[in-house]
A and B are shown apart, each in its own frame.
Chain A
Amino acid sequence: MRCAEHCEVVANRPVATNQFEIEIHCPTVALHAQPGQFVQMRVQSGYEPLFSRPFSVFRRFPERGNFSVVYLVRGAFTQMLARKKPGESVFVVGPLGNRFLVAQPANQVLHLLVAGGVGAPPLYLLAEELVQTGVPRQKIVVVNGARRQDLLVCQEHFAELGVRLRTVTEDGSAGAKGKVTDALKALHGRGELSGNRCQVYTCGPTAMLEAVAKFAQKHDLPCQVSVETLMPCGLGVCLGCAVKVRTANGTDYKRACVDGPIFDATEVVWE
C-alpha cells in the first residue's frame, strides 16, 4: 500500500544543529512503512529544485496516522522544508523501496546496527521493531557515529529503547573518539562479535557504508547496506538511481528506489 498525496505538517522542530524532525499526517505511510523504507517529499510549487527528495521514515504513530522523518538542512529543498509550519502541506509519495530484512531466528542473532549521521533514522525504526517483536535488548547493538556531537541523530531515542548504544564522534565530542569502524573493531577485539550469529545493518554516507561492508566481509559477517543516490522518480522508471551490482556473469545495474535502498553488501560493487 502506498500513496501520493498532499499531507498536513503536524510539527517541525529542530533536534540538533541544522537538523529537524518533521511529523506529517499521512495514514498510509504511518500504517505501512517498514524499517528502511522511504518517502519522496515535495514542498516547492515551482521547478527549483525540480525533483522530489527521498527521506527515510524515522518514527510511525499509527494511532494518530502520522509519521516523521529527521532531516539535515543541506540545500534548496531542505531549506524550504525547514520553513514549513504546522498546518501547511507537503506532497508525499510512499512508502517506497524495500526494507531491512531481520536475520532469523531473530532472538538468537546479535543485531548490529551501524549508523552514520542522518543514516540513523531508518535504523531507529528497525531497532524499535526488533524490541517490539521481543528480541532481547542485549542482542541489539547500535553504533551511532557522526563527525561531532551536534551532528549525532536519534541519540536519545536509541537510549530510550534501552538497546546497547555505542557512540562515536570523529572529534571525540561525544562517546569514543573515532569512526564507526573503530567502534566495530573494538567490539570485535573484545570478542563480542564471535561466538554469536551476527547480522550487520548499516546506513550513512557512502564512504562509511563501504568501510562497514569491508569490515563485515573481512570478518565474514552478513551485512545489509542502505545506499544513497539521486532519486528523480522513486518509482523505478527513470533509472537515474542505478547501483552497480555483481551478477553470475559480470555486473549489472539495479535501481536503488525499488530493488533497494537496502542491498546485501556483497552484491554492491563499490566504485
Chain B
Amino acid sequence: MSEVKLSVKLGPLRLQNPVLVASGTFGYGSEYADLIDLNRLGGIMVKGTTLHPRAGNPMPRMVETAAGCLNSIGLQNVGVEAFIREKLPFLRQYRCAVIVNIAGDSYEEFEQLAERLDGVEGVHALEMNISCPNQEKGGIHFGVDPEATREVVSRVRKRTRLPLIVKLSPNVTDITMTAQAAVDGGADILSLVNTFVGTAIDAKTRRFKLANITGGLSGPAIKPLALYMVWRVARAVKVPIIGMGGIMNATDAVEFLLAGASAVAVGTANYVNPHASMEILEGIEQYLREQGEKDVKHIVGTVKRCKPGNEF
C-alpha cells in the first residue's frame, strides 16, 4: 500500500496531520491521555485561557438541543500563569502541536496574553478567541466588528512571533468581512467557526434552560452552516483555514477539506466519543487511499458544482 502524505503546512505552522481538537472540548490533553494516543493528533487547541483565572457562569450552563448543545460555560479556566506552570509541562511530552486559545476583555488583555506566551517552550501557536465582549466598546464582541477585529489582531501581532490563528465568530452578517479584517491585522491562519448564539426554553416551567439565557450552539446541528462559512472564507482570503463546526466523523471532516479548509478541528464529538479524533484521522487516510490521492493537501478546496441529473 502506498503511503499517503498527511502532514500539512498552514503558513508558518507545520502539523503532522490535519486533525486537531477544538478549544474547550479537550481540556488540556491530560484528560484524554489514557484513552487515546495524543502523539497521533495533529494538534491540541487548549481550553480558552485568560489573563486571570475565571470561575465561569452559574449552572445550568449546558443543555442538549436537537443534534447539538448550547453552552454558556463563561470561559472557566485556570488563567495563563497556572496554565504555563501546571498544564504545559504535561503537553510538552507529546509531539503534537500545542495551540493556546487566548481570550481577553480588552485590547490590553489580549496584548499581555500574547506577550506572556511568546517564546514559552512548548507553545506552537496562538489562537485568538475574539467571540468575547470588548469592555472598551460597551461589551460588543470583538469578532462581530471588522474594525475591532483588525485592531485586536494587529495589536497581538506586534507582541508575538508565534504563528497567529484568529478564530472567527459566525454571529455576523458577512463572515468574509471579519475574515478579511483578521488577515489585514496580520493573522497567519483563520479558524472557523466558533459557536452560534442561541437559547432554549422549557415550555413546562416557562423558563430559560440556561442560567445565562443564551449559549453557543455546537455539534452536528451547525455543520451545514459552518461548512458554508468555510467555503465562503476560503474563496475570499488567501491564508489557510482550520475548519470546524459539527464534525462527528471522517466524512464530515473530508467535506470541510473539500470546502477549502487545510485542517480540521474536532469539538463536541470528543464528548460523545473519546476516540472521535483518532477515528477521523484514520478515516481521512482511508478516504484518500480510496480516492487515489497521495497527499491530503491535494483535495483542499476541490469541491465542484453538483451535476444536474445526479441527485440520487
Partners in one complex: yes
Residues of A within 8 A of B (CB): 2-4, 42, 47-52, 91, 93, 229-230, 232-240, 242-244, 251-253, 258, 271
Q: Assess the A237–B31 pair: CB atoms within 8 A.
A: yes
Known: A47-B219, A50-B67; 4 extra A-B contacts, CB below 8 A, are A91-B273, A234-B271, A239-B73, A243-B59
Q: Assess the A232–B69 pair: CB atoms within 8 A.
A: yes
The reply to whether the CB of B24 lies closer than 8 angstroms to some CB of chain A is yes
Q: Assess the B272–A51 pair: CB atoms within 8 A.
A: yes
Contact with A along B45-62 (1 / 0, CB 8 A): 001000000011011111
Interface members, chain B 267-306 (any A CB < 8 Å): 268, 270-275
Looking at the complex, which one of B27, B69, B221, B275 makes contact with A237 (CB distance below 8 Å)? Answer: B27
- Between A and B, 11 residue pairs with Cβ closer than 8 Å are A48-B67, A50-B67, A50-B69, A230-B60, A235-B31, A237-B32, A238-B271, A239-B56, A239-B76, A258-B31, A271-B59
Give complex CA distance A244, B211 in Å: 14
- CB contact under 8 A between A51 and B271, given known A230-B62, A232-B62, A238-B62: yes
The reply to whether the CB of B35 lies closer than 8 angstroms to some CB of chain A is yes
The reply to whether the CB of B146 lies closer than 8 angstroms to some CB of chain A is no
Q: Assess the B270–A237 pair: CB atoms within 8 A.
A: yes
| CB-nearest residue of chain A to B21 | A237
Q: Assess the B63–A2 pair: CB atoms within 8 A.
A: no
Closest Cβ–Cβ distance, residue A1 to chain B (whole Å): 8
Q: Assess the A240–B273 pair: CB atoms within 8 A.
A: no
Q: Assess the B62–A2 pair: CB atoms within 8 A.
A: no
| Chain A residues, CB < 8 A from B26 | 237
Interface members, chain B 42-95 (any A CB < 8 Å): 47, 55-56, 58-64, 66-69, 71, 73, 76
Closest Cβ–Cβ distance, residue B66 to chain A (whole Å): 7
| Chain A residues, CB < 8 A from B27 | 235-237
Closest Cβ–Cβ distance, residue B204 to chain A (whole Å): 13
| Chain A residues, CB < 8 A from B272 | 42, 50-52
- CB contact under 8 A between A51 and B69, given known A232-B62, A238-B24, A253-B55: yes
| Chain A residues, CB < 8 A from B271 | 51-52, 232-235, 237-238
The reply to whether the CB of B133 lies closer than 8 angstroms to some CB of chain A is no
The reply to whether the CB of B34 lies closer than 8 angstroms to some CB of chain A is yes
Interface size on B, residues (CB 8 A): 36
Q: Assess the B61–A242 pair: CB atoms within 8 A.
A: yes
| Chain A residues, CB < 8 A from B76 | 239, 242, 253
Q: Assess the B25–A237 pair: CB atoms within 8 A.
A: yes
Q: Assess the A4–B59 pair: CB atoms within 8 A.
A: no
Q: Give the one of A3, A48, A236, A240 with max B CB within 10 A.
A: A240
- CB contact under 8 A between A235 and B32, given known A50-B272, A229-B59, A242-B59: yes
| CB-nearest residue of chain A to B67 | A47
Q: Assess the A4–B275 pair: CB atoms within 8 A.
A: yes
| Chain B residues, CB < 8 A from A242 | 56, 59, 61, 76
Give complex CA distance A49, B268 in Å: 13
Closest Cβ–Cβ distance, residue A240 to chain B (whole Å): 3
Give complex CA distance A234, B272 in Å: 10
Give complex CA distance A166, B248 in Å: 48
Looking at the complex, which one of B31, B59, B219 makes contact with A50 (CB distance below 8 Å)? Answer: B219
Which 5 pairs of residues, A with B, have the shortest CB-CB distance?
A: A240-B62, A237-B27, A233-B271, A47-B67, A4-B274
Closest Cβ–Cβ distance, residue B109 to chain A (whole Å): 21
Closest Cβ–Cβ distance, residue A132 to chain B (whole Å): 28
Q: Assess the A2–B34 pair: CB atoms within 8 A.
A: yes
Give complex CA distance A234, B35 in Å: 13
| Chain A residues, CB < 8 A from B275 | 4
Give complex CA distance A237, B22 in Å: 11
Closest Cβ–Cβ distance, residue B158 to chain A (whole Å): 32
Give complex CA distance A232, B69 in Å: 9
| Chain A residues, CB < 8 A from B66 | 47-48
Q: Give the one of A47, A48, A230, A258 with max B CB within 10 A.
A: A47
Give complex CA distance A236, B25 in Å: 10
Contact with A along B135-169 (1 / 0, CB 8 A): 00000000000000000000000000000000000
Give complex CA distance A237, B27 in Å: 5
Looking at the complex, which one of A47, A93, A244, A251 makes contact with B274 (CB distance below 8 Å)? Answer: A93
Closest Cβ–Cβ distance, residue B129 to chain A (whole Å): 15
Give complex CA distance A233, B61 in Å: 14
Give complex CA distance A244, B275 in Å: 30
| Chain A residues, CB < 8 A from B47 | 237
Looking at the complex, which one of A2, A230, A244, A251 makes contact with B35 (CB distance below 8 Å)? Answer: A2
Give complex CA distance A234, B25 in Å: 12
Q: Give the one of A229, A234, A237, A251 with max B CB within 10 A.
A: A237
- CB contact under 8 A between A239 and B61, given known A48-B66, A253-B56: yes
